[in-house]
Amino acid sequence: MLKKRILVLLSIMIVISSCLVAADQQLKGTAKTNFRSANIYLGQENYEKATPLYLSVLESNPGHVETLFIVAGIYYDNKKDYPAAYNYYTKAELAIDELYQEYEQLKITDIKEAEKLYKKQIKKQEFPEKLESAQLLKSNCWKYMFLNAQSEFNNENYDNSIALFDDLLIIAPDSAKTVKMLAFAYYNKGDEEKTFEYYLQVASMDPADELVRQKIAGVYYAQGNHEEAIKWYQEAAVINPDNPDNFFNLAVVNNNIDDYANALIAMERVIELEPDNLTALLSANDYATKLEDNDRALEFLKKANEIDPENLDVNMTITIRLFSMEKYNELIV
């Protein structure tokens, strides 16, 4: 019996709650008067007088979808204040979502009230269309905000661009594009610490960003942290295995820690990608020499000679190599 009473009370509370949401869309008293006055000013394109009246409506009716859309539209179309427009479209989106939640709850407890709510509120006021519109316009707001921030960046107003990109990051914290622009802005300002911080953030957000991994590796290399540099160059190489720069850098770092075997493996990949890369061939010769693999070293030198037969340094190195290997017939040639 007690359980039944609780269920009845719960149903009544949900119905009352839905009525309150519905009431939020039906303006009364001063709010209703201000809304009508604001509409008159809006029809006259007098946005300076219309806006404060609409805002007063929202003070007492913060979930009034129609007012939220009108205010968002004023900021979007007339004031070009895209952060404000984004904010009001978000509020409209949330208000519609709340109404949908009430509708879903009523479908469980009172199907007739649910149908009434749908007809009088959701369908009549075209909330499905409004929800789709809010999502589209929010996306447009973000694009315009990004373009404004990018324009400041291009004009070398880095402090302004950073402030605008920070605003973007608040409304869309998962945007790797925004974080990357913040990194570039701080880089151009000469703030190495903040630049590196944002590089790491971009890498964690975008597993396919080759460039940022190259930059992170470069920072670690400059710091003398060869292990981390190798790790990040390897990640870049996995993302783009056809970029010889990744493997060349890997070879250089491995050579610096006397890991000539891995240095040679990486440089051979460079040669695969760029068979005419004279620097890569001579570096491979150096690594093979350090590994005391004279045959492979000679092979790289001969390929270098084919590319640049007039290179005296290459010819002299081949001569020395042949002499040390006691290949006198070839040495005469």
Give the whole-number percent of the chain exceeding pLDDT 70: 87
The burial class, CB within 10 Å (0-12 / 13-18 / 19+), for 167 is: middle
Q: Can you tell me the distance from the alpha carbon of 55 to that of 71, in angstroms, rounded to the nearest whole number?
A: 8
pLDDT band at 177 (very low <50, low <70, confident <90, very high): very high
Q: Is the dihedral of CA 84, 86, 92, 94 positive or negative?
A: negative
SS3 26: coil
In this predicted structure, the answer to whether residue 19 has a pLDDT above a threshold of 80 is no
In this predicted structure, the answer to whether residue 6 has a pLDDT above a threshold of 60 is no
Cβ atoms within 10 Å of 38's Cβ, excluding its own: 25
Q: What is the mean pLDDT of residues 47-53?
A: 94
The burial class, CB within 10 Å (0-12 / 13-18 / 19+), for 37 is: middle
Picking from 136, 134, 135, the residue whose alpha carbon sits closest to that of residue 65 is: 134
State residue 324's pLDDT score: 72
Residues 6+ apart with CB under 8 A from 237: 243, 246, 247, 250
For the ranges 40-49, 196-205, 289-298, the lowest mean pLDDT is seen at 289-298
Q: Can you tell me the distance from the alpha carbon of 262 to that of 239, in angstroms, rounded to the nearest whole number?
A: 19
164-168-169 Cα angle (round to 5): 115
Tell me, what DSSP letter sits at residue 259?
-
Is this prediction's pTM over 0.75?
A: no
CB of 184 closer than 8 Å to CB of 192: no
Q: What is the mean pLDDT of the chain?
A: 86
Q: Can you tell me the distance from the alpha carbon of 183 to that of 167, in angstroms, rounded to the nearest whole number?
A: 15
The burial class, CB within 10 Å (0-12 / 13-18 / 19+), for 175 is: middle
Q: Can you tell me the distance from the alpha carbon of 222 to that of 217, in angstroms, rounded to the nearest whole number?
A: 9
Residue in the structure block whose two tokens are 């075209």? 126
Of residues 163 and 9, more confidence is placed in 163
In this predicted structure, the answer to whether residue 333 has a pLDDT above a threshold of 70 is no
pLDDT band at 23 (very low <50, low <70, confident <90, very high): very low
pLDDT band at 325 (very low <50, low <70, confident <90, very high): low
pLDDT band at 270 (very low <50, low <70, confident <90, very high): very high
pLDDT band at 27 (very low <50, low <70, confident <90, very high): confident
State residue 96's pLDDT score: 83
Query: How far is Cα of residue 15 from the mean position of the Cα atoms in its chain?
Result: 43
CB of 167 closer than 8 Å to CB of 200: no
Joined tokens for residue 120: 């009088």
Summarize pLDDT for 95-145 with one digit per residue, the tens: 888 877 777 777 777 777 767 766 767 666 777 788 888 889 999 999 999
In this predicted structure, the answer to whether residue 40 has a pLDDT above a threshold of 90 is yes
The b-or-e profile of 111-145 (16+ CB within 10 A means b, else e) is eebbeebbeebbeeeebeebbebbeebbeebbeeb
State residue 54's pLDDT score: 93
In this predicted structure, the answer to whether residue 21 has a pLDDT above a threshold of 70 is no
In this predicted structure, the answer to whether residue 35 has a pLDDT above a threshold of 70 is yes
Residue type (1 letter), 229: A
| One-character DSSP codes across 296-308 | HHHHHHHHHHHH-
CB of 91 closer than 8 Å to CB of 68: yes
CB of 253 closer than 8 Å to CB of 237: no
State residue 287's pLDDT score: 96
Summarize pLDDT for 207-254 with one digit per residue, the tens: 999 999 999 999 999 999 999 999 999 999 999 999 999 999 999 999
pLDDT band at 74 (very low <50, low <70, confident <90, very high): very high
pLDDT band at 329 (very low <50, low <70, confident <90, very high): low
State residue 221's pLDDT score: 97
